[in-house]
Amino acid sequence: MKNISKKLMAMGVACTMLSGGIVSSAMAEELRMTIWSANEGHLALFNGIADGFVASHPDVTVKFDSLPFSNYTTTVTTQIAGGNAPDLAWILETTAADFVNSGALYPLNDALNAAEGYELSDVSKPPLGLWSKDDAILAMPFSTSPFAMFVNNDLIKAAGAQSPAELIAAGEWNWENAIKTASAVGATGKGGLIVRDFKYQNWKNLASIWSGWDAAPWSADGKDCAFAEPEMVSAMNFIHDAIFEKNAIPGPGESVDFFAGDAALTITQISRASLLPKENGFDWDLVPLPAGPAGEYSLIGQAAIGVFAAGKNAELAAEFLAYMTNPENSAKLAQFFPSIRGSLLNAKTLGETNALLSEDQLKKVVIEGIANGSVIPGHTGFAQIEQIVRAGLDAVWVPDANVEDALANVCSRIQPLLTR
């Protein structure tokens, strides 16, 4: 009998502790933000910013959930479908239209206006356009990273070709000459030009080349396919020729890494400077993208932070977002992610946090790139369009391709999706 009463008491204590735990956990609010970086430096920076927020909100905890980049959006939407939406998420520029138009995001205007010292007027308006709908700001771009070209001068010198710096000095930095240099290095058995992350799948990265022809995948309003337009056909023929005739771009199914010293040139975002080898490196340079037949141009990638309306703590999450992107924290973020705040877009401020890049490189590539750059293409229902275009462009990536027919075929397949 004594034993039974002891057991009952123990159960009672356990239940009390359990219910206490439940009550206290209900009082403490956890904000969860999905990100696609697992970089230690990025996480340390985010956690440092979160600590500052938690200091003024003792009942709040902030957790950063790193998801693999390759399936990032799929994982986030699956979490939403499973009723486990994150409170905040990084969002890619290509999926901006889907997220902004779906009503999934919580409007941020009130939180941004209420945040002390936020200085919304300091934020450049054009980059905000992609993330706004009917005057409502639905996500805040925190990283606007221009595409540029990294150069391995050692390989170029060994091939006896002209380096981009020499071509820039001579006023001849254009795609014809860039491909000549890449082709000369390709002839030595090394890689010529790598469009990083393209891999004959991620075709939107080719915008870093075709923009020089003033080509675009669809019209500005997104309703008409432009793959079959003369500018795009010309640009794609140029790329096809560079791959299969001039051996200037490694072909499909070939794996070459610029940052391992195996290629002359690579087009990527400047944040990839962190991949440059620390030891036994090579003589590298960073230059703007070459001019195309349509003149000079630049391309930028964007990432924004949004708050999910379906999240449990949308209002609090919006408050955290405002804190995370306030002037002070934007300056901290700028060491990895170029800001769209005008006050931070100068060579001096960027130079303080980008030790690898010279003031001249920052001015020519980052500041001018962000000021004049067009954003990498995106569209409502982009994932589906992306797959269909990918399948259609496979017909281009063969030596004897009829580029014009293949591009016309791409248009016939995606046109119904663009107008739906």
Partner 1 sequence: MSQASHIVAKSPRAFWTIKRRDQVAGTLFIAPQLIGIIVFVLIPLGLVFWYSLHEWNVLANSFKFVGSANYKMLLADPALPEVLTATGIFSAGLVIFNMSLALLIAVLLNQKLWGIVVFRTLFFSPVVVSLVAWTIVWSFLLQNNGGINAVLQTMGIEGPNWLRNPGTAMFSIIVVQVFKNVGLNMILFLAALQGVPKELYEAARVDGASAFKQFRRITLPLISPTILLTSIITIVGSLQVFAQIAVLTQGGPGMSTTVLVYYLYQQAFQFHFFGYGATLSIMLFIIVAVLTFAQWQLRKRIVFYEN
Task: Kindly tell me the burial class for residue 408, based on how many C-beta atoms sit within 10 Å of its own C-beta (0-12, 13-18, 19 or more).
Answer: middle
Rounded to the nearest whole angstrom, what is the least distance from the CB of residue 58 to partner 1 in the complex?
Answer: 32
Q: Which is nearer to partner 1, 372 or 387 (CB)?
A: 387
Q: Which of 306, 246, 316 is nearest to 60 (CA)?
A: 316
Q: Which is nearer to partner 1, 39 or 77 (CB)?
A: 77
List the one residue from 252, 277, 281, 295 that touches partner 1 (CB under 8 A): 252
**Binding track, positions 353-382, relative to partner 1; x by CB under 8 A:** ----------------------------x-
Please check whether residue 153 is in contact with residue 160, taking contact to mean a CB–CB distance below 8 angstroms: no
List the one residue from 36, 90, 198, 200 that touches partner 1 (CB under 8 A): 200
- 390 touches partner 1 (CB under 8 A): yes
Q: Which of 57, 24, 97 is nearest to 317 (CA)?
A: 57
Q: Which is nearer to partner 1, 129 or 251 (CB)?
A: 251
Q: How far is the CA of 74 from the CAs of 70, 71, 203, 354, 387, in angstroms?
A: 9, 5, 19, 32, 14
List the one residue from 253, 279, 280, 400 that touches partner 1 (CB under 8 A): 253
- Local structure of residue 358 (DSSP, 8 states): -
- 99 touches partner 1 (CB under 8 A): yes
- 391 touches partner 1 (CB under 8 A): yes
Please check whether residue 327 is in contact with residue 117, taking contact to mean a CB–CB distance below 8 angstroms: yes
- Tokens 């003031």, residue located: 359
List the one residue from 60, 92, 104, 248 that touches partner 1 (CB under 8 A): 104
- 68 touches partner 1 (CB under 8 A): no
List the one residue from 16, 61, 74, 419 that touches partner 1 (CB under 8 A): 74
Please check whether residue 207 is in contact with residue 377, taking contact to mean a CB–CB distance below 8 angstroms: yes
- 255 touches partner 1 (CB under 8 A): yes
In the region spanning residues 278 to 337, those forming contacts with partner 1, defined by CB under 8 A, are: 309-310
Please check whether residue 207 is in contact with residue 299, taking contact to mean a CB–CB distance below 8 angstroms: yes
Give 68's Cβ-side CA count (13 Å radius): 3
Phi, psi of 227 (to 5 degrees): -65, -30
List the one residue from 251, 277, 281, 342 that touches partner 1 (CB under 8 A): 251
Rounded to the nearest whole angstrom, what is the least distance from the CB of residue 388 to partner 1 in the complex?
Answer: 9
Phi, psi of 206 (to 5 degrees): -70, -10
Token pair belonging to 58: 């003792």
Rounded to the nearest whole angstrom, what is the least distance from the CB of residue 371 to partner 1 in the complex?
Answer: 32
Distance CA 341, CA 327 (A): 8
Token pair belonging to 275: 């991949």
Rounded to the nearest whole angstrom, what is the least distance from the CB of residue 218 to partner 1 in the complex?
Answer: 18
List the one residue from 16, 102, 358, 374 that touches partner 1 (CB under 8 A): 102
Phi, psi of 370 (to 5 degrees): -70, -40
Distance CA 11, CA 192 (A): 71
Q: Which is nearer to partner 1, 347 or 406 (CB)?
A: 406
List the one residue from 39, 66, 77, 188 that touches partner 1 (CB under 8 A): 77
Q: Which is nearer to partner 1, 47 or 74 (CB)?
A: 74
Q: Is the dihedral of CA 88, 89, 90, 95 positive or negative?
A: negative
| 43-51, 57-65, 205-213, 395-403 -> range binding partner 1 (CB under 8 A) | 395-403
Size of the site for partner 1 (CB under 8 A): 30
Rounded to the nearest whole angstrom, what is the least distance from the CB of residue 248 to partner 1 in the complex?
Answer: 16
The DSSP element (H or E) to which 61 belongs, if any, is strand 60-66
User: Interface with partner 1 by CB under 8 A: which residues?
Assistant: 74, 77-78, 80-81, 98-99, 102-104, 200-201, 251-255, 309-310, 381, 383-384, 387, 390-392, 394-395, 397-398
